Amino acid sequence: MAKRWPYLVPLAVIAILFAIFGKRLVDVEQGFNPAMIPSVLNGKPMPEFDLPGLPGRTNDRGFKTADLKGQVSLVNVWGSWCVGCLQEHPNLVKLTQGSGIPVHGIAWRDKPEASLAWLRKQGDPYTLVGQDPDSRTAIALGITGAPETFLVDPYGRIVFKWANQITPEVWQKEFLPRIAQLRK
């Protein structure tokens, strides 16, 4: 039995990993979506921030917490280096054209010239854009990657966080019902 022990340990580890991955697959089949992991900030005020704008942008005044008061809005965290942001961006451009919801951007871990060039090339759907090169605001928001988008109520409270790309399906299923509730 003592001679078999070294051979049984790797088999036990493989069996444990198989069980963990199997459970995760079952969770996904039953509707688990890692993009919908609830934020601890849901229902709480947006953390205080005052971010500088992008020099050279038409509206380069920056973006701060106070800008979120008075209307339902979205805050989208993005970067010119982010492949998912590039895929999401055409959807943001379209939804800003017809939704009446202001979308504000936080350029995360990006050089101002790279952010500005990216917006000029891809289109600029943002009402306001603030730069967060040192991640202070991203840390306060609990950002784990880009893109991430927050739905904010007229009082400046976070209602919902989406930690993935916004697709037309996600917009219809996850955002529009919540926006309709906020507008009642």
Same domain flag for 140 and 77 = yes
Task: Quote the DSSP letter at residue 156.
Answer: S
Which candidate, 87, 74, 81, places its Cα nearest to that of 167? Answer: 87
**N-terminal to C-terminal alpha carbon distance within the chain:** 70
Please report the pLDDT score of residue 156 as a whole number. 97
Q: Which helix (H) or strand (E) holds 12?
A: helix 5-29
Same domain flag for 1 and 50 = no
Query: The tokens of 63 are what?
Result: 């973006």
Same domain flag for 23 and 39 = no
Which candidate, 56, 159, 163, 78, places its Cα nearest to that of 126? Answer: 78
Please report the pLDDT score of residue 85 as a whole number. 97
| 33 SS3 class | coil
Please report the pLDDT score of residue 23 as a whole number. 63
Query: Residue 158's domain spans which residues?
Result: 34-182
Residues 83, 145, 151, 139, CA torsion sign: negative
User: Of 42 and 64, which is predicted with more confidence?
Assistant: 64
Give residues with Cβ within 8 angstroms of 101, minimum separation 6: 72, 73, 74, 95, 179
Alpha carbons 175 and 160: distance in angstroms, whole number: 8
158-176: per-residue pLDDT in tens? 999 999 999 999 999 999 9
2-39: per-residue pLDDT in tens? 676 677 777 777 767 766 766 655 555 555 555 556 67
Same domain flag for 83 and 50 = yes
Summarize the confidence of residues 82-86 as an average pLDDT.
Answer: 96
Q: What is the percent of the chain where pLDDT is above 90? A: 72
Same domain flag for 26 and 112 = no
Same domain flag for 120 and 47 = yes
The CATH code of the domain that includes 58 is 3.40.30.10
Same domain flag for 12 and 41 = no
Please report the pLDDT score of residue 35 as a whole number. 54
Same domain flag for 138 and 47 = yes
Same domain flag for 4 and 45 = no
Same domain flag for 27 and 41 = no
132-156: per-residue pLDDT in tens? 999 999 999 999 999 999 999 999 9
